């Protein structure tokens, strides 16, 4: 028997979800709450398995509630169920280690399946969310837009990102420290930054070099 708690600020949706779920074999809706603080409280006082969580809620929003509950109760599988598909929210939530992220346009049948999967430890993402995740990962630098940097300058940059000083870089590449400085000046100009730290950070952002 999978014990489920519903957290959503719309009574209508809560009621609808409850009716869908409570006639399913193996699923038992323990209770419903209408805000994030309620979700945190119920997690502290009752044992259950899966939490259906809306993100946009009053008092304590879903994101913050996820954070607290994840920290205090790792055994609860949080299945985010929301209309919100804005990129930044998605990544923030996924970083908390939730078990799944579904958009509210799911079929009831899919939702029920997903609850079972979350219970058995299988991760669940809506196709749209999977797409955003992959899109984030996909390296647009396949066409290697080097922002005007020469091969040598790129090589110097990799040493900067390793944390090497100009002297160390020069020794590693068998060139003088001054030459390293000159290359760096060109790099700064081309990347429109002022120092090596900014250059290293920008290089990582632009995926010119990888941060291993």
Partner DNA sequence: CATAATATAGACGTTTAGGTTGAAATGAGG
Partner DNA sequence: CCTCATTTCAACCTAAACGTCTATATTATG
Structure tokens at 160: 């900067």
Other Cβ atoms within 10 Å of 117 Cβ, number: 17
Position among 12, 23, 45, 205 found at the interface with a second copy (CB under 8 A): 205
**Binding of a second copy at residue 209 (CB under 8 A)?**
no
Positions in 135-174 near DNA (CB under 7 A):
148, 150-153, 165-167, 170, 173
Positions in 192-211 near DNA (CB under 7 A):
194-197
**Binding of a second copy at residue 75 (CB under 8 A)?**
no
Q: Which does 107 bind (CB under 5 to 8 A by kind): DNA, a second copy, none?
A: none
Cβ-proximal residues to 173 (8 Å cutoff; 6+ apart), any chain: 155, 156, 159, 180
Q: Which does 179 bind (CB under 5 to 8 A by kind): DNA, a second copy, none?
A: DNA
Q: Is 140 helix (H, G, I), strand (E, B) or coil?
A: helix
Instruction: State the minimum distance, in angstroms, from the CB of residue 117 to a second copy.
Output: 8
129 sits in which H/E element = helix 127-137
**Binding of a second copy at residue 165 (CB under 8 A)?**
yes
Q: Is 33 helix (H, G, I), strand (E, B) or coil?
A: strand
Q: Mask of contacts with DNA, 17-56, x by CB under 7 A? A: ----------------------------------------
Position among 162, 186, 202, 204 found at the interface with DNA (CB under 7 A): 186
Give every strand in the sheet of 27-33, ordered side by side: 27-33, 2-7, 50-53, 77-82, 100-103, 124-125
Strand segments (E) across the chain: 2-7, 27-33, 50-53, 77-82, 100-103, 124-125
Cβ-proximal residues to 131 (8 Å cutoff; 6+ apart), any chain: none
Contact stretch for a second copy (CB under 8 A) within 16-24, 31-39, 79-87, 125-133: 125-133
Residues of the shown chain interacting with a second copy in the complex, contacts defined by CB under 8 A? 67, 70-71, 91, 94-97, 117, 122-125, 127, 130-131, 133-134, 137-139, 142-143, 160-161, 163, 165, 193-198, 200-201, 204-205, 211
């Amino acid at each position: 028997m999978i014990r489920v708690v519903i957290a959503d600020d719309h009574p209508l949706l809560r009621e609808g979800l409850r009716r869908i779920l409570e006639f399913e074999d193996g699923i038992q809706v323990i209770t419903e709450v209408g805000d994030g603080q309620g979700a945190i409280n119920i997690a502290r006082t009752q044992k259950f398995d899966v939490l259906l969580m809306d993100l946009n809620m009053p008092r304590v929003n879903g994101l913050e509630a996820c954070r607290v509950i994840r920290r205090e109760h790792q055994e609860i599988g949080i299945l985010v169920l929301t209309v919100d598909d804005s990129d930044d929210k998605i990544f923030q939530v996924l970083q908390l280690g939730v078990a799944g992220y579904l958009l509210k346009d799911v079929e009831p049948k899919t939702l029920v399946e997903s609850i079972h999967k979350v219970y058995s430890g299988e991760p669940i993402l809506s196709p749209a969310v999977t797409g955003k995740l992959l899109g984030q990962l996909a390296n647009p630098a396949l066409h290697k837009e080097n922002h005007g940097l020469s091969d040598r300058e790129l090589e110097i940059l990799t040493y900067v990102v390793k944390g090497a000083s100009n002297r160390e870089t020069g020794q590693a590449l068998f060139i003088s420290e001054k030459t390293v400085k000159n290359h760096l000046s060109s790099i700064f100009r081309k990347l429109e930054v002022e120092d090596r730290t900014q250059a290293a950070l920008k290089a990582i952002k632009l995926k010119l070099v990888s941060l291993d």
